Amino acid sequence: MTEDLQAQQQVCTQALFESKGSAGCDAPDPIFILGLPRAGSTLLEQILSSHSQVDGTLELPNILSLSQRLRRRSRTSGNKPYPQILEELTSEELQEMGEEFIRDTRFHRQQAPFFIDKMPNNFRHIGLIKLILPNAKIIDARRNAMDCCFSGFKQLFAEGQEFSYSLEDIGTYYRDYVTLMAHWDEVLPGAVLQVNNEDVIDDLEGQVRRILDFCNLSFEETCLRYYETKRHIRTPSSEQVRKPVNRSGVGQWKHYAAHLQPLIKTLGPLSGQDVSRSS
């Protein structure tokens, strides 16, 4: 996975995006909320889904499926592997892929002009997203490294998050995620809005207004009362987002610090701890 994320940085350069120009589907409908599991993405989804102009959906697999299709294509046709194959895609292919995404996700939508795709793992494929859907909005749900990794480690995911089964692996994954997100900020300045979970807890209205401004949406009070919005939620945070924001999840890891030294060591400075003393 580390090698895959490094490949994204090597291929998805500013020059690549400039060379593709205005290719892709120009639909502004999608709002991608991504990041790491247990980082607050479900809360942001619930807030935005409470807006009259936004449909909440699911953790849609479409972008991940498209990336896998590009991987298979490179194996069978002699093309470059993914993500290197992104350099070879024509403007017509990028537009077709974007239109396919809009068409295939319509089944999950209702009548609102915008909709949310809250697949956390899409952070690996922001380059692909911006090439096929240049007008899509992207929000990075960020959480304190120790809180996020500890919460992910103690949550038994059914599938798809194998990195969360080891303290060292989850620390490495978080570190690689932060590095890749910094790369996206460098080559796609202003394309991704980072929203810190702690900031949402401390200043809900200020962060809600910031998110809505980024999405070109007017302010609606219902977004502050997101916990009153009735909708199906199929993530481990389903009960938490039916309550007002609170600090109950902040710093929980500290009760288990003695058992989390491998995580602290792997995260290094990102842990916020004195690594030399903890080791």
The vertex-239 CA angle with 237 and 243, nearest 5°, equals 110
pLDDT tens-digit series, residues 28-67 = 999 999 999 999 999 999 999 999 999 999 899 999 999 9
- pTM for the structure as a whole: 0.92
Instruction: List, for residues 189-213, the tens digit of each pLDDT value.
Output: 999 999 999 999 999 999 999 999 9
What is the mean pLDDT of the segment spanning 123-151?
97
- pLDDT recorded at residue 241: 54
Q: Which two tokens stand for residue 193?
A: 């809005």
Contact assessment for residue 41 and residue 120, using Cβ atoms and an 8 Å cutoff: yes
Q: Would you say residue 234 has pLDDT above 60?
A: no
Burial 170-191 (b: 16+ CB within 10 A, else e): bbbbbbbbeebbebbeebbeeb
Q: List all residues 6 or more positions away from 227 whose beta carbon is below 8 Å from its beta carbon.
A: 46, 241, 242, 243, 244
What are the structural domains of the chain? Answer: 2-278 (3.40.50.300)
- Distance between CA atoms of 97 and 101, rounded to whole angstroms? 6
pLDDT of 141 > 50? The answer is yes
